[in-house]
Amino acid sequence: MKLTVSTHKLFGYRATLRTAKRLAEEAVRVVERAVPGRMPDVQVVLTSERHLADVTTAAEWETAGCTDKRVQARALRSAKRLARDTAGRAIPLADGGVLVVVNVDQHPNEATFAITLVHELVHAMQMSRKDVRERLIAGLRNDLGVEKQSRRLSREHERCLEAEEKEAYGAEYLAGRLVPAAAA
């Protein structure tokens, strides 16, 4: 398991990057012990609300194999609308790793950052489970119009996403082990 923490078009946040590296290493250890699965290679990218959509959509296009410029433009517009409310996202990468993108504008302190980091790392652990990565990539390809899914598979994908989201929200209490203020 390899962990990389970096920034994307984020200047003057050196202290935030140091804090993120420290918290990410601890969070990986805590989540690995508490959540079933195997932690894949994780790249944590800190960025602002303005650049969140750029980073996430570029990773999704690469993973899904989307080359249609009109579809890419539509996906980017949609992601920019959602970026304001997004604290973080976990995206499967083509090489088998996971990209965790964190919106630093949504995190005023270490406690909220720790909660988001634990939540997204739980999603990373889920992607290591049997058939989850393939299902997520197939859903991504369906959303981008690269390869359509049947309605049955699409509904099953949505049900699985809801269950995975519940599991991730249920594991957020683990952030209290990283930063005591997150337990409140």
Contact criterion met (CB below 8 Å) for 46 and 107 = no
Distance separating alpha carbons of residues 57 and 49, to the nearest angstrom: 13
Distance separating alpha carbons of residues 129 and 125, to the nearest angstrom: 7
Q: Which residue has the tokens 């197939």?
A: 138
Distance separating alpha carbons of residues 102 and 64, to the nearest angstrom: 21
Q: Residues, the chain, total?
A: 184
> Among residues 60, 81, 50, 166, which one has the least CA distance to residue 119?
166
Contact criterion met (CB below 8 Å) for 88 and 53 = no
Which of the four pLDDT bands, split at 50, 70 and 90, describes residue 11?
A: confident
The model's pTM is 0.93
pLDDT in tens, 36-52: 999 999 999 999 999 99
Confidence at residue 184, expressed as pLDDT on a 0 to 100 scale: 60
Q: Are strands 3-7 and 88-92 parallel, antiparallel or unpaired?
A: unpaired
Confidence at residue 84, expressed as pLDDT on a 0 to 100 scale: 86
